[in-house]
Chains A and B, each alone.
Chain A
Amino acid sequence: MLKLNVNGKAANFDGDPDTPILWVLRDHLDVTSPKFGCGMALCGACTVHLDGAPIRSCSTPVSAAAGKKITTVEGLPAKLGKALQDAWIAEEVPQCGYCQTGQMMTAAALINTNKNPSNEQIVAAMDGNICRCGTYSRIQKAVTRAAKASA
């Protein structure tokens, strides 16, 4: 039995410890904001935080989360979470929207370590997250806006 902490709440998982965090969240704990896109850490749609660091939950076994905190978009610190969501809404970023929670989690990790990221730093941090709708320029603007709002 693995003891997990998801968005501040305790949870248990008694399945295969090799199960990727993504499927524990989605299929066992009903946390569906992290999305399945590739299963190979190539697209970033599944991005969550493990003790504050962004990870690809599709390729990280749940055993790696024991004793650590898993955070999804629902569980971001209130100020940063709101700054990101407000920025994404203000810039009307999402089209299909499928990648956006992953984009926001990558952005959250960037802003956590860099309160005033330059465009180049944003591109470098976000380049692992695919948006098939091509909302990249709006994502860039939203990250800048969110960073300012959460400073």
Chain B
Amino acid sequence: MKQPSTLKDKIESSGRRGFMKSTGALSGALVIGFNLPFTASQAKTAPPAAVANAWVKVSADGKVTLICHRSEMGQGVYTSMPMLVAEELGVPLSSVKIEMAPSAPVYINAMLGGQITGGSTSVRDAWMKLREAGASARTVLVAAAADTWKVPASECTVANGMVMHKSGKKIAYGKLVAKASSMKMPEKVALKAQKDWTIIGKNKARLDTPAKVYGTAQYGIDVKLPGMVIASLAQAPVIGGKAVKVNDAKTKALKGVLGVVQIPDGVAVLAKDFYIAKKGRDLLEIEWDNGPAAGLDNLGIEQDLRTASLGSGAIMRKDGAGVDAMSKAASTIEAEYLLPFLAHATLEPVNCTAEIKNGECHITGPIQFQQGAQYGVAAAIKMPPEKVFIHTTFLGGGYGRKLELDFQIQAAQLAMAAGKPVKLIWSREDDMKHDFYRPISLHQMTAGLNAKGDIESLHCKMTSPSVTARAFPPVVQNGKDPFMAEGSENITYKVPNLSIENVIHDTGVRVGYWRSVSNALNAFAVESFIDEVATATKKDPVAMRMGMLGHDKRSQNVLKMAADKAGWGKAPAGRALGVAQMECYGAHSALVAEVSMTKDGPKVHKITCVVDCGVVVHPDQALAQMESGILLGFSSGMKNEITFSQGEVQQNNFHDYAMLRMSEVPQIDVTFVQSSESPGGLGEVGVPLVMPAIANALASLNGKRVRRLPLLQNV
């Protein structure tokens, strides 16, 4: 996801920010944060400022607490966010305590306009903001020390949570809290030079690893509150359906069942444990009205998508004469690509815990969109938003599924109806069948060539459902969903006449953002098609791409490096190489896949990838993110497809929606370009290129072009 200004404007946030300092509510603690200039209406709904606006807390006993304001779903923000603050504050990372942020305007992601973890934005959004927060705290602590010692602040330095004077005097931050709280906040702060960094760019131990290997890390599914019951929720077989008649006699006769509760999304059974709750749920006799989607099936969905593709769509980008130049082409090449619906299938199934007491609602769970949860729950249970509190646990995978608000609202409704705390746990099948699916997409590509076989004009037409039209409808104006054009609108190739056209077509299937959003869809079409043109014009795929990237040195550099490292042109006997490259969330990357064909089908031996994402905050975890993204793209692209029959999702669990296993993992070699550019995104950058590179390699191997995913079903 990138930065549609309309979305940013829509959710009331402000680009202007100022520093604030408060000691009122946190006695003895110095709290440094940003104070958004609230409007009157926001001020009324905002939680108390002294707590909400904290980034750094230094207590009188010297303890330093840093706030992680993004959801930790594996990508490492629990470590990378504190690294940015600690670098400037001058505290060792190993000594700080981390707290997850509540829902509050101060934690809004300026790139997305809400308190959202997504779009590979965490480091990009925090890069200046959190370093300034650390530097700001450091500046007042230094000023307090200088004032105590009656020396100029310029003679003082900091390290290991202490201010030091050139005379050799030292004082710990904790001892400066009282005085620092009365110091004037600096208007501007100086940030450390890259050469002086001791934390950024270093492989610091992940702060969440010990808890995750000792078994003490708390995920949403681990939450337990006094008096809490477990709920299993029967939802309509078809998303959008409703229960019209319920017979719960058998359920209520089951020993251990504590109650049956109906909410708009279905009927829940409450029990002390999930086994009885689910068993009781399976005994419910429910007559469903399956609603408007009850007739959906895959054939019809695809036919309707093709029909929609005959119409004209919104022009997302036009260079030169756009599609009009196609008529002047010496020859044209066309191809069509189709990608299926996908489920997120996080290993931790959807779950959430809600408690309503003393006029407050507390939601605890694996949440990617804290503000959405707060306001969505408030509206659903008719409570004022300022009485709804969001507590974010670790997420056992996110990929965009946990941006959605359905499960938080369900938990709140259940707690309200049950009159006690409720932990709602979805089964794997619930999770598979009630997802917000990655949209199906049809891509029609046309290239107009000149007499030499160079691409003079390129038309990329995508027909697909719009997630944004469902999730943030005001953002879609004149048929333009900016998120649908990710990976196409920002195409890196120089083409004199370019037309990026998107047709939004609602298939009736509920769709959601899925790791790398449209980048994975468009990259498969664009990078497969560029290769098809290279083949048709008898050009080397790397050389042709290099020729179209003369204006873009970063893209050229990663492509050349990846080709060299992978041994381009020197594939071992019986194997072939395929390449793909793109810009995604501010990172440039190129990827080469080495494949062969065995009697069991295609085999991917090696993936070579080179990334230029600017400054790398944490090299080892950046590598982990690239590997993770590549393998998620690979796993899904090779194997996965969600299909519908009579409106019902046909996949159930990991036997019919298979996950990549250890024995299937190819060798992966990722290299990062050394850079001092501001950081680009990374959490999703690995996902999009792996499948087009594999498809290109297979076409090179045996001349057979796969234009439809999942690859293993279409090879």
Residues of A within 8 A of B (CB): 15-16, 18-20, 23-24, 26-28, 30, 32-33, 35-40, 42-43, 45, 72-74, 84-85, 88-89, 92-101, 104, 123-124, 126-140
- Chain A proximity mask over B607-640: 1 for CB below 8 Å, otherwise 0: 0000000000000110011011011100100000
Q: Is the CB of A96 within 8 A of B397?
A: yes
Q: Is the CB of A98 within 8 A of B219?
A: yes
Closest residue on chain B to residue A15 by CB atoms: B256
Residues of B within 8 A of A (CB): 73-76, 205-206, 208-210, 212-219, 221-222, 224, 230, 255-256, 272-276, 279, 345-349, 394-398, 425, 427-428, 620-621, 624-625, 627-628, 630-632, 635, 653-655, 659-663, 665, 668
Which B residues are CB-close (under 8 A) to A101?
Answer: 213, 215
Which B residues are CB-close (under 8 A) to A20?
Answer: 275
Taking the closest CB of chain B, its distance from the CB of A102, in whole angstroms, is 10
Q: Is the CB of B224 within 8 A of A30?
A: yes
Which A residues are CB-close (under 8 A) to B347?
Answer: 35, 37, 43, 45, 96, 98-99, 130-132
How many cross-chain pairs have Cβ atoms below 8 Å apart between A and B?
A: 180
Q: Is the CB of B276 within 8 A of A15?
A: yes
> 16 A-B pairs, CB-CB below 8 angstroms?
A15-B272, A15-B273, A16-B275, A19-B275, A20-B275, A43-B654, A74-B214, A94-B206, A96-B73, A98-B219, A123-B662, A130-B347, A132-B397, A133-B632, A134-B631, A134-B665
Q: Is the CB of A132 within 8 A of B346?
A: yes
Give Cα A84 to B209, complex, Å: 13
Q: Is the CB of B215 within 8 A of A92?
A: no
Which A residues are CB-close (under 8 A) to B230?
Answer: 27
Taking the closest CB of chain A, its distance from the CB of B201, in whole angstroms, is 16
Which A residues are CB-close (under 8 A) to B272?
Answer: 15, 27-28
Which A residues are CB-close (under 8 A) to B273?
Answer: 15, 19, 23-24, 26-28
A sample of 19 more A-B contacts (CB under 8 A), given A19-B273, A101-B213, is A26-B222, A27-B273, A28-B272, A38-B654, A39-B653, A42-B654, A88-B209, A92-B624, A95-B74, A96-B348, A97-B394, A98-B219, A101-B215, A130-B659, A133-B628, A134-B627, A135-B624, A136-B662, A140-B662
Which B residues are CB-close (under 8 A) to A104?
Answer: 213
Give Cα A45 to B256, complex, Å: 26
Closest residue on chain B to residue A37 by CB atoms: B347
Q: Is the CB of B621 within 8 A of A92?
A: yes
Which A residues are CB-close (under 8 A) to B205?
Answer: 89, 92
Give Cα A39 to B76, complex, Å: 28
Closest residue on chain B to residue A140 by CB atoms: B662
Q: Is the CB of A37 within 8 A of B349?
A: yes
Q: Is the CB of A27 within 8 A of B73?
A: no
Which B residues are CB-close (under 8 A) to A32?
Answer: 215, 218, 221-222, 224
Q: Is the CB of A89 within 8 A of B213?
A: yes
Taking the closest CB of chain A, its distance from the CB of B638, in whole angstroms, is 13
Which A residues are CB-close (under 8 A) to B208?
Answer: 94, 97
Which B residues are CB-close (under 8 A) to A135?
Answer: 624, 627-628
